[in-house]
Structure 1
Amino acid sequence: MRYTVSIVFRQDFVEIVGNHITIGVTAKPVGGAANKEIIKKLAKHFGVSSANITIKSGHKSKEKIVDIV
């Protein structure tokens, strides 16, 4: 399933409305730490392995497109 993801920094939450996810991230966007945290949170929320989640676009943006298998 493909989702659009919006990032909010300095908060810790996951909110899903339809195909849009708003996620709070506490990690700083340095060296991919924030993207790793996003993948971990989504994997835990959906109950899948981290390997089943890929960021398709927006690696350096607050707006991302994510595929969850």
Structure 2
Amino acid sequence: MKIRIKVNLFSKKDLILYQGKDIFGLDYYIVYTKSKPIGGQANKSIINLISKYFDKNKSDVFIKSGFKSKEKIIEIK
């Protein structure tokens, strides 16, 4: 399964909000994280949050595109 996310950094708490389908038919989420975008900390936090949200292992969640962007495509096995 692939999803599209928009990341908001430096939030007060970690949170995932479902926004519906995007124009490409992917589920669209907004991810709020307390992490900083230094040394991949934010990407690690995003993977942790998504794996908990979908009740999957961290090894089943991959960032397919947007490693340095706020808009990302995530693949979940």
How many correspondences in the alignment?
A: 69
TM-score by length of 2: 0.85
Q: What's the counterpart of residue 8 of structure 1?
A: 8
Corresponding letter in the other structure for 1:6: K
Distance in 2, Cα, partners of 1:61 & 1:25: 14
SS of corresponding position for 2:50 = helix
Distance in 2, Cα, partners of 1:40 & 1:2: 16
Corresponding letter in the other structure for 1:13: L
Distance in 1, Cα, partners of 2:61 & 2:38: 20
Q: What's the counterpart of residue 55 of structure 1?
A: 63
Instruction: Say if 2:49 is the partner of 1:46.
Output: no
| Aligned-residue RMSD, C-alpha | 0.8
Greater Rg over alpha carbons, structure: 2
The gaps in structure 2 that reach 5 residues or longer are 21-26
| Aligned positions of 1:29-40 closer than 5 A | 29-40=37-48
TM-score by length of 1: 0.94
| Structure 1 position 25, deviation (Å) | 1.0
